[in-house]
Amino acid sequence: MSAIPVAAPALPPQMIAARVAGIAQETSDTYTLTLEAAGEGPALPAFQPGQFSMLYVCGVGEMPISISGGSVEGGRHVYTVRSVGKATHALVHSAKGAMVGVRGPFGTAWPLEEARGKDVIVAAGGIGLAPLRGAIEQILHNRSDYGHLVVLYGARSPRDLLYRKQLAEWGRKKKVEVLVTVDYAGEKWRGNVGVVTTLFRYVRLNPEGTVAMICGPEIMMRYVVRELARRAVPDEAIYLSMERNMKCALGFCGHCQLGPYFVCKDGPVFPYTAMRPWLDKHEA
């Protein structure tokens, strides 16, 4: 009796050595790193906005970080990282020229092809703007392929806002509207105060011709989806990036399981129609 052939398990992508080419502080605990291939080694691979990489700090550990910009055709990756533990602390405090291991990219991307010819509304909360930054840059780089672009962004306070200069630059471009709000304002703040959904009162939508891309705390995403539904944006046109606790990037460890999905393998970008039964389920 012949043996039943068994398919070999998929191997994880090879780790590439990268060099920290630049680092900029965004907030008190958040930094943006630019990585390039080191020496004569392989170039950093091409990516699609919305995907993530596994970044490794020698002797400390590996962590999943969304790609927030760079050259989509490969060669340079940009990551915005908040220091929340030992590994991310070591990463954001790397010296220029330090070596970092990169695996990936992994996961699904924002629906930029599906959005061609349509208006795009981007809603982000806190560091959730980082996974959306690459999509915004691609829309602006291919401006004639898209309609009106609306960016709604909220942070805890003015000190917690990411990409301040870029937000201003985006808002000066034609057919682009950038609205920013904070939960807690200081005396010098002259902008909006409140949660992200309060910004919708300033936005005019063409519901049948709009694609929405959302990333942020899950409670924020739940209320943004409800606001979009109130304005008749179809569920099929809404996409979310889930930030559940990813560890392996291959769906092996089960840390990021959400219903029938593994966020690292089946996401992190999901159509809302797939997430609808699970968005109200709190992470354990």
On the question of pLDDT at 159 being above 80, the answer is yes
Q: Answer for the pair 169, 38: CB distance below 8 angstroms, yes or no.
A: no
Question: How many Cα atoms sit within 13 Å of 130 on the Cβ side?
Answer: 26
Which pLDDT score is estimated for 9?
46
- Section 33-49 average pLDDT: 88
Q: Answer for the pair 244, 283: CB distance below 8 angstroms, yes or no.
A: yes
On the question of pLDDT at 241 being above 80, the answer is yes
The alpha carbon dihedral of 156, 157, 162, 164 has a sign of: positive
pTM of the model: 0.90
- Between 57 and 253, the more confident residue is 57
Taking the C-alpha atoms of residue 139 and residue 176, their distance in angstroms, rounded to an integer, is 10
Q: Which domains does the chain have, with CATH numbers?
A: 16-106 (2.40.30.10), 119-275 (3.40.50.80)
Which pLDDT score is estimated for 251?
75
Q: Which of 75-89, 107-121, 184-198 is least confident?
A: 184-198
Amino acid letter, residue 123? A
Which pLDDT score is estimated for 7?
47
> To 5 degrees, how large is the angle CA 112–CA 114–CA 119?
75
Which among 58, 53, 113 has a CA at the least distance from the CA of 80?
53
Which pLDDT score is estimated for 37?
87
Which pLDDT score is estimated for 8?
44
